[in-house]
Amino acid sequence: MKIFRKLTATLLGAAAVLALGGCTESTDHDPMIFDNDRAPLTVTFGGDEVIFFEYDEQKIFDVAVIGAETVETEAPEGWTATYADGRLTVAAPATTDGAELGLVVVRASNAAAGSRQASQRVCLNAAIPEVKFADEGPIGFEPGEKRSLRIESSYVTRYETTVPDGWKASCEGGNVEVTAPASAAEGAMAGEIVVTAYGRDDRLSATASIAVRLEVDATPLDSEQTANCYIVSTPGYYSFDARVMGNGVYKCADDQQTVNLLPVEGMTDASIRPVFARLLWQDSPDMIGDVALIDGRICVVVKHIDGNAVVAATDADGVILWSWHLWGTARPSEQRYPANEFGRSYTMLDRNLGAWGSRPGDAGVGGLLYEWGRKDPFVGGAETLQVGFEPTPFDDAWSHPTYDIRGERVRFASEAATEAIGTMSYAIQHPMTYLYGAKTADGTCVHWHWSTTAHFVWGNPLGYLGETGVKTMYDPCPPGYRTPAADVWYDSATFDDENVFVWDAVNGGRSIRLDGQDIYYPAAGYRDYTEFSTFDYGQGRLWHVGRYGDYWSNSPSFWRNNQTGVAHILYSYYWRITMSYTVTMSNEGYRAGGHSIRCMKDSE
């Protein structure tokens, strides 16, 4: 049988309509085709309209043929057309292998008159598929639960499903078989199951979706106290109050005044009203699986520990109102230090803030770095030993990499803390911007915070007189701990004796055994504090990883210029270890410098 393949412009138009969901009646169909005008041979069949067929459907048409000796038929590929006794039987394809549309032609001929022919447009009824879920979402699932969700569909030849991370779904017998993750750490807490239904081919499809959620209670991280940092020791689903800034303590006093530490003038307490929550960074690309704000609490899925993340609460415009550090580590041990030269003994954690290792050679032993007075951390080195300084601030080859919620790289910035931006409010809104000291007219460039009460923010304005202070809303340590007092390491028989406090040349740090405890301080390097416009080693660049270790105290230092007699409180106390010496305490810690923190028990 001859196959008719030629499509007119009108027929191609009909094909375009078909792709949008079906055929329409044609008004410009060519009339019956005659090869010559010799009578009496005639063929009457067809018309201008398009005749629709379902798959494998047959239709019978009347055909008037006069004066013919022979009658032939033509049909589109995959179709059949059979003429007998004035009737034409047309059958559509049974599968998708045939043509969607075309012409059925009847041609009559005789020896005297030649031939005459007439045609009819035919089209498969390629209906747009329909699919919907019988129920409305969201549908709650217990961890690991399997459930069938019923769908209603028509004109569908196959299905595809897409699911949230960690979920499974397949279409079987008019149902979607859904399996929830075994735990919050193994998949998304919520999302959509999407079913795509395809018709005769992939050009025709429809989708249906239903919201699903994992019904598991979040473990509260703030059951003891709110803070700016929370320890997460196992994978799971966690939450904390996002309506309180830090621990909520916004007043601090010295011997002369009580200072309001709230970041914005006019605020009356340390509460905020967030609208959204999001991940700012994580130092492992897949540590955090989900972040959401639910009833004023930030809920976070932690897929694994041994890492750090910072999440933020924002207003409706995306402006950061506050941010929190999630410290993924096995629960740190407490270590009781012997009494120092002032007769004081302190309980300290066994690792740096942000570290997930505590012994020489452990991965992640260096932890994070902090500017004095800021609650938000900055990453340290990508390696344990890095001599010199990085070529640019937060250089990819030097600084530990950071990622967003999709696992894509994000990077910190650094900026000169001019008087316009050297504020606590700016620091809160830009937790990923390192604020290095901008040079002033008198050449000083020691601080990022342009405030006469900046020395109050970590709660120990009289630390230089021996006070230990209180924990405030800006303290970076987890509940129950705070930045240490200035005299923690004041003991010439221990931490200041390099024969006892031994340097580890392989791993870069110092170790000591005290009262049966192995205490280790890594030399995690430091970030430079100033702009150094004539040199290329300032602006928050990382220095001397594995060679220097600088540790902040919560105490500002009272400093007097011996030549001018001018006194000020622009510095803070810090403790330094190096490969060649230790310094019991220095009172010239530039507050825009990025140093390590070893947290102290809050009750001391």
Tell me the average confidence (pLDDT) per consecutive run of 10 residues in the chain, 604 residues long: 32 34 36 48 86 90 93 95 95 84 93 88 83 94 96 88 95 90 90 90 87 94 97 96 98 95 95 98 95 95 96 98 98 94 93 97 96 98 89 92 97 93 97 89 74 94 91 98 94 83 94 94 94 69 95 88 67 92 83 96 90
- Span 130-214 CATH architecture: Sandwich (2.60)
Dist CA 292 CA 308 (whole Å): 18
Look up tokens 């932890």; give the residue.
367
**Gap between the Cα atoms of 207 and 209, Å rounded:** 7
Four-residue CA torsion sign, 18, 23, 29, 33:
positive
Q: Where are the alpha helices (DSSP H) in 184-291?
A: none
Residue with tokens 């007439």: 118
How remote is the C-alpha of 575 from its chain's centroid? 36
Q: Which are the contacts of 590, defined by CB distance < 8 A and separation ≥ 6? A: 437, 446, 447, 529, 530, 571
**What is d(CA 340, CA 487) in angstroms, rounded to the nearest whole number?**
8
Q: Please provide the DSSP assignment of 474-531 as one string.
A: T--SPTTEEPPPTTTT--TTTTT-TTTSEEETTTTEEEEEETTEEEEEE--BEE--B-
**Domain assignments of the chain as residue spans, ordered by start:** 9-124, 130-214, 219-328, 351-601
Return the pLDDT at 560.
63
The pLDDT score that the predictor gives to residue 54 is 84
Residue 99, token pair as written in the block: 């043509």
pLDDT of residue 465: 86
Q: How many CB atoms lie within 10 A of CB 562?
A: 6
Q: Residue 436's Cα: distance from chain center in Å? A: 28
Beta carbons within 8 Å of 234's beta carbon, 6+ residues apart? 305
What is the per-residue pLDDT for 31?
Answer: 42
Task: Specify whether the CB–CB gap between 180 and 145 falls below 8 A.
Answer: yes
- Which helix H or strand E contains 240, and what residues bound it? strand 236-241
Q: How far apart are CA 201 and CA 52, in angstroms?
A: 17
Same fold flag, 9-124 and 130-214 = yes
CATH number (1.10.238.10, 3.40.50.11540, 2.60.40.10, 3.40.50.1820) of 9-124 reads: 2.60.40.10
Look at residue 160 and give its three-state secondary structure: strand
Please name the residue that has the structure tokens 């991370």: 165
What are the beta bridge partners of residue 517?
514
Kindly give the pairing relationship between strand 320-328 and strand 87-91. Answer: unpaired
* Owner of token pair 């019978």: 60
Contact 160, 196 (CB under 8 A): yes
The CA distance from 527 to 525, in Å, is 7
Structure tokens at 270: 């340390």
Whether residue 40 has a cis bond before it, omega within 30° of 0:
yes
Beta-bridge mates of residue 163: none
